[in-house]
């Protein structure tokens, strides 16, 4: 399970899994607006991470980000760390 610490939102962390086909699973937000975040988690379940990243990037709420925007950043962070790990092998 990948864990991402959010910045600038009511949620504090985002947790998720990515399978071998780059599909997102088991998305959980820690903190934030429970109903809305459960809805986002269900909507992205089984979606390709590139699609999720593109779809949610740039959505704004309070400040200059939002929980969906932070999920897009979490996906980007996941991909960067995965790619760095592959390069290090």
For the domain 2-88, what is the CATH code?
A: 3.90.1010
Q: Which residues contact 57 (CB under 8 A, 6 or more apart)?
A: 69, 72, 73
Residues (pLDDT < 50) of the chain are none
Count of positions (residues) in the chain: 89
pLDDT of 66: 97
pLDDT of 78: 98
Residue 47 has phi, psi (to 5 degrees) of -85, 155
Q: Which long-range contacts (CB under 8 A, 24 or more apart) does 13-20 make?
A: 14/70, 14/71, 14/74, 16/74, 16/78, 18/49, 18/78
Q: Is 40 within 8 Å of 27 (Cβ atoms)?
A: yes
């Amino acid at each position: 399970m990948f864990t991402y610490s959010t910045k600038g939102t009511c949620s504090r962390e985002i947790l998720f899994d990515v399978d071998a086909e780059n599909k997102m699973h088991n998305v959980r937000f820690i903190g934030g607006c429970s109903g809305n975040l459960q809805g986002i988690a269900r909507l992205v379940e089984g979606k390709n991470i590139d699609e999720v990243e593109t779809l949610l990037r740039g959505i704004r709420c309070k400040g200059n980000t939002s929980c969906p925007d932070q999920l897009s950043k979490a996906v980007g962070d996941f991909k960067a760390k995965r790619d760095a790990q592959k390069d290090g092998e």
